[in-house]
Amino acid sequence: MDPLDFLTNEELLFLFHRKKTEISYIEQPHRLLTQLRDHDLVSEKLFENVKKMRSREQKEKGFYEVLDWVEKKRPQYMHQFWRCVFEDHILQLYPTLRILRNSLLDGTFRLYEKPPDVETLTEEEESEGKGEKGKEKSYTRKRTSSVKKGDKQEILTLPEAQLPVTCGDKEGTLYRDKLSRGEKCILSQGRWFTPAGFERFGGKKNNKNWKSSIRCRNTPLKKLIEEGHLHCPQRKSTKKTCVQKNMRFPVSSSESSSPKTSSSLLEESDAEDVQEQGGRGEGTEFRGRVKEEEEDMADLSVFQAPSLPVTCVSLTGTLYKYRFASGSRGKCVRTEERWFTPEEFVKQEPTLTDGHWKKDILCHGKTLNFLLKKQILHVHSLLCECAKCSTQEQDVMAQNNDDECYVCHSEGALVCCDECPQAFHSHCHLPTVDEDSPGEWICAFCVLRNSQQWRDSSNISEQEAFNAPVSQHILHCHCLLLCVYREDIQKVFVEDPRQTVRRYSEIITQPMWLDRIKQKLESGEYQTVGAFVSDFQLIFSNCSTFNRDSEFGRMGARLKQMFEEEFQKIFSIQ
């Protein structure tokens, strides 16, 4: 079935309304006009009028008038129009139409908000204040899921390199590549503007802060620039001082008569950065710090690991680079309690009232902004549709837990704990998890922690623990065994060594291994915790006897030390 059949005429008409200006700018529109005429979508008179036009400007204007006529006179034929436009021989001639077709097929256009009613908007524009309120109200998008106050609104996407923007009562399209080069980058009503020029065009010239005045889907461009979705070049300077508050740059009285140069755009942008910092020492300190970091030629090898230690004042965590997407997308910072996006991690620090993830999260003494500059971290495109950038509930929920099993460190079908970040293969967990059981599931560690909070938290002696019956401490034994399995990363102590190690039986008369301990625990062979612990001690003593001073011997010594520490914590030994 044709994908267009899944779309309503109203949806296709709305896309046409939003895209007719862009379509009118295609080069050599004669073939497309001929196609529209042959399918009775354009009258012969309109076709001939455009055909007689000679200059490119005349053709663009004439083609726009044709499209405007189609919208007003043929709105019920949108399915026929788009099928006509999306025929293969037409798509091969016009790249712009190929991009539009992709935006239809991948569902991007569905995210567009409904445009404000023209008549209602006219009434609301009686005064600038009322007009802006009416505009904002008309563009509030309803969401099926609740959004907490202060949370970042979803950024809606358009075809590659273009974003819809608004300022006051004006709409336009921002071309990201032009913005990054410091050129006029916003197309509105057939004219190109710098961001500052579009701010004036939208009636917001008194704000003198285009990063806040211009919005993309109700999100200020300042937010998109901070998160790395947009790149705005800064004026290079060797000084680390703020631009003076009374400094002014030449501003042309008319965007069209005296266009602003690329350099003046950069200067204005730089000055606005200072204005956004409020002229405070804090802003100077941050920008100075970034400057120093960029000039620092320190060894970057410490940042090459897949996971990095991070801090934010009193908070500590681990940043997993493969999970990072941006400040608000991709839960990449893991603490003992949960996973966070960088923005969420900063918000956990109680001493920061106005923290920012780029400057307040440190890794080996460097800010995350430094890691972005050095391309150690990479911000995902605003158009990215990967699972880390997805806003679907199931994708967001999946980021709340680890991507590998807590016990064996491998991926696969995992059962996720609903109280902590840990995840397990069903057969790795103790006891084994029934994957088909409905409802929430809590791992053994969380069950033990919760039970310790409910019961008397008084400590016991080591001897009291040894004498305790296993039946009353089966949960403790499960957790202790899971910790040892996890620590034995190379699986040296998991299986029967007699099957893989030569001459083992000649030296060790009473072998023991982790899977054997697990089997005895599950079958109820242990009567006391002491008997359970003695089998672990047997593993460690056998390792020491057989391996002596080899690497395997040292591995066993480290595992023994970890076991003793975990035993003290899990059994609350005083």
**Residue-wise pLDDT tens digits, 334-347:** 999 999 999 999 99
Residue type, 230: L
- Which of 123-127, 187-191, 321-325, 327-331 is least confident? 123-127
CA distance 20 to 81: 12
291-297 LR contacts (CB < 8 Å, sep 24+):
291/240, 293/366, 293/367, 293/369, 293/370, 293/373, 294/370, 294/373, 296/370
Residues contacting residue 432 through CB under 8 Å, at least 6 positions apart: 426
Question: Around 132, how many Cα atoms within 13 Å sit in the side-chain half-sphere?
Answer: 12
pLDDT classification of 457: cutoffs 50, 70, 90: low
- Which of 124-138, 193-207, 367-381 is least confident? 124-138
The separation between CA 280 and the C-alpha centre of its own chain, rounded to angstroms, equals 30
Q: Of residues 282 and 318, which shows the higher confidence score?
A: 318
CA distance 90 to 23: 13
Q: What is the pLDDT of residue 126?
A: 41
E strand or H helix at 171: strand 170-175
CA distance 112 to 155: 11
Stated pTM of the model: 0.51
Cα 55 to Cα 73, 103, 354, 483, distances in angstroms = 27, 31, 54, 77
Nearest to 180 by CA among 274, 266, 252: 266
DSSP-derived pairing of the beta strands 339-340 and 333-334: antiparallel
The per-residue pLDDT for range 466-490, each reduced to its tens digit, is: 999 999 899 999 999 999 999 998 8
Cα 545 to Cα 178, 499, 515, 557, distances in angstroms = 70, 18, 20, 11
Q: What is the pLDDT of residue 161?
A: 63
Task: Read off the pLDDT of each residue in 502-519 and give the average, rounded to a whole number.
Answer: 92
Q: What is the pLDDT of residue 444?
A: 93
Task: Read off the pLDDT of each residue in 515-531 and give the average, rounded to a whole number.
Answer: 95
DSSP-derived pairing of the beta strands 191-193 and 215-216: unpaired
Q: Contact at 8 Å (CB) between 435 and 415? A: yes
Cα torsion at 431, 437, 438, 441 (round to 10°)? 10
Residue 541 has pLDDT above 80, yes or no: yes
- Please measure the distance between the N-terminal and C-terminal CA atoms of the chain and give it in whole angstroms: 71
Question: Around 80, how many Cα atoms within 13 Å sit in the side-chain half-sphere?
Answer: 14
Q: Of residues 426 and 53, which shows the higher confidence score?
A: 426
The per-residue pLDDT for range 54-97, each reduced to its tens digit, is: 777 788 888 888 898 888 888 888 888 888 888 888 887 887 78
CA distance 414 to 441: 12
Residue 571 has pLDDT above 80, yes or no: yes
Most confident of 174-178, 229-233, 302-306: 302-306
CA distance 539 to 532: 12
DSSP-derived 3-state class of residue 164:
strand
The per-residue pLDDT for range 434-445, each reduced to its tens digit, is: 877 667 899 999
Q: What is the pLDDT of residue 165?
A: 86
Task: Read off the pLDDT of each residue in 455-473 and give the average, rounded to a whole number.
Answer: 84
CA distance 328 to 228: 11
Residue 262 has pLDDT above 50, yes or no: no
pLDDT classification of 112: cutoffs 50, 70, 90: very low
CA distance 188 to 166: 10
Residue 127 has pLDDT above 70, yes or no: no
Full 3-state SS string of 23-44: HHCCCCCHHHHHHHHHCCCCCH
Task: Read off the pLDDT of each residue in 507-528 and give the average, rounded to a whole number.
Answer: 94
Task: Read off the pLDDT of each residue in 151-158 and give the average, rounded to a whole number.
Answer: 39
Task: Show the tokens assigned to 95.
Answer: 């790249």
Q: What is the pLDDT of residue 154?
A: 39
Q: Residue 445: beta bridge partners?
A: none
Angle at 278 (CA atoms; ends 231, 240), nearest 5 degrees:
65
